[in-house]
Amino acid sequence: MTTVETQLSELRLHIGGEWVPAGGGETFDDPDPFTGELVARVPAGTREDARRAVEAAAAAFPEWSSAPPAVRQQVFLKAADILESRRDEVVSLLARETGCTFGFGLFQMGFVAGLLRQAAGTAYAAIGEIIPSDTGEFAMGIRRPAGVVGAIAPWNAALILSARSIGAPLVLGNTVVLKPSEHSPYVGGLLWGEVFAEAGLPPGVLSIVTHAPGEAGPIADELVENPHVRRLTFTGSTETGRLLAEAAGRNLKRVLLELGGYSPLIVLADADLQFAVDASTFGAFLHQGQICMSARRIIVERPIAARFIEQLARKASGLKTGDPKEHDTIIGPLITEKALETVKGRVEDAVSKGAKIVAGGEAVGPCFQATLLTDVPVSAELARVETFGPVAAIEVVDSSDEAIERANATAYGLASGVITNDADKGLELARRIQAGIVHVNEQPVGDEPQMPFGGVKDSGWGRFGGTAAIHEFTELQWVTVGRPHPYPS
């Protein structure tokens, strides 16, 4: 596979099936996070643009919601084929727009093609039920599309998380207005307008509104407050998710939240040491640790701790850091200079309070080395909040019970992992971990399109994926059919 340097022209919003400039005529620059070079000029959408997009979605809803499942399925199957035909181009743009390394770009492409095909089958899966009635009426629970869905997607796994936010809602008969991050307006947003238009999605069923940095608020406000919007999805920080949930509550709207994580990886004393080292490296440093499921804490039992730390530090120190367009790069740039400074500052704060660096610890241009720390005190910010970067803290414990106690000592509860040669013990520990996702004999970064993906505690509520998504993006309507009968006089 060769790198494809696609040059994006000045982009347009996708509203009601048309490519249009932002209502105010403003644009913003979308830079390459590694080189700083311009990737595209992007329309700086306004609240009025979002309102027009919602109105287009509302107008398209009656026809799309009544389209036969075969029609919706065929659109998704075509979209998967179209996306795969653009593989080299999209992988290149993932690197240029989000700093995504080659391996992670290929993974996203494969995952999303599968997600689209899995979603295609969901067109037939919104099955209701016949409910016994004591009145003699014929009673049914019918799954119906909810209406317009406002989808707010992040930049970090831009292709996967944008596809996930629109896939199930669309194939179940809803219409969608997508607001991508300002850091991934094309690969996490406007790309889908091109793909689905070519696949035959009717105009207005999917609209995409981009916005300038710092200007997400007005777009989100319109999605929350517009009465046509009946569902909201958000993937992002816990802080922003809490604000969105409060606003959605005031407007009596259901919202699916996939928020931050501080995912633990427990390595028990009976674990295969080489596998544990490899899994920890992958879980902590894939996409520079800019994944909500990344292993932020690696909790290892004392009998193997010294050997584990030595081997993990050696492996982390050997990971190539630099240009994500070079196919052997493992650690690419952080998304912005501000993100880099945040990671650097939290590592320095932890060290000043007694933590020890056993690998990495330095910025290299726009990148930060794969970094491992031990003895991180609870007073350090790194020990308490999600730090989006290639940094993991190692904790040594004396028992599996202590490992569980440490794993649960966080406000977050998204993903986790347990590595052990005793599968029964792994399952027993999994039941005690306070997380929406537990992988036994695997690191925390794992997902499949058909799985119920989501967290507990401050990591959000609701579930993406498979049959769980059907409950999120449909309404259950009770319908009865009776016969004339006498009423009390």
Among candidates 372, 429, 440, 381, which has minimal Cα distance to 406?
429
Amino acid at 372: L
Tell me whether residue 258 is one of the annotated catalytic residues. yes
Tell me whether residue 292 is one of the annotated catalytic residues. yes
Hunting for tokens 């400039």 — which residue is that?
Answer: 21
Active-site hit among 182, 222, 258, 395:
258
- Number of Cβ within 10 Å of residue 165's Cβ equals 27
Among candidates 312, 260, 276, 302, which has minimal Cα distance to 395?
302
Rounded CA-CA distance 261/443 in Å is 14
The answer to whether the beta carbons of residues 139 and 133 sit under 8 Å apart is yes
Q: Is 14 exposed, middle or buried (0-12, 13-18, 19+ CB in 10 A)?
A: buried
Structure tokens given for 216: 């997400």
Active-site hit among 55, 100, 222, 292:
292
The answer to whether the beta carbons of residues 69 and 78 sit under 8 Å apart is no
Q: What is the DSSP letter of 438?
A: -
CA distances from 477 to 129, 136, 254, 467, 474 (A): 10, 19, 16, 17, 9
The answer to whether the beta carbons of residues 301 and 397 sit under 8 Å apart is yes
The answer to whether the beta carbons of residues 366 and 334 sit under 8 Å apart is yes
Q: What is the DSSP string of 120-172?
A: HHHTTT---EEE--TTS-EEEEEEEE-SEEEEE--STTHHHHHHHHHHHHHHT
Q: What is the DSSP string of 72-139?
A: HHHHHHHHHHHHHHTHHHHHHHHHHHH---HHHHHHHHHHHHHHHHHHHHHTTT---EEE--TTS-EE
The SS3 call for residue 71 is: helix
Hunting for tokens 């640790």 — which residue is that?
Answer: 289
Residues with a known catalytic role: 258, 292
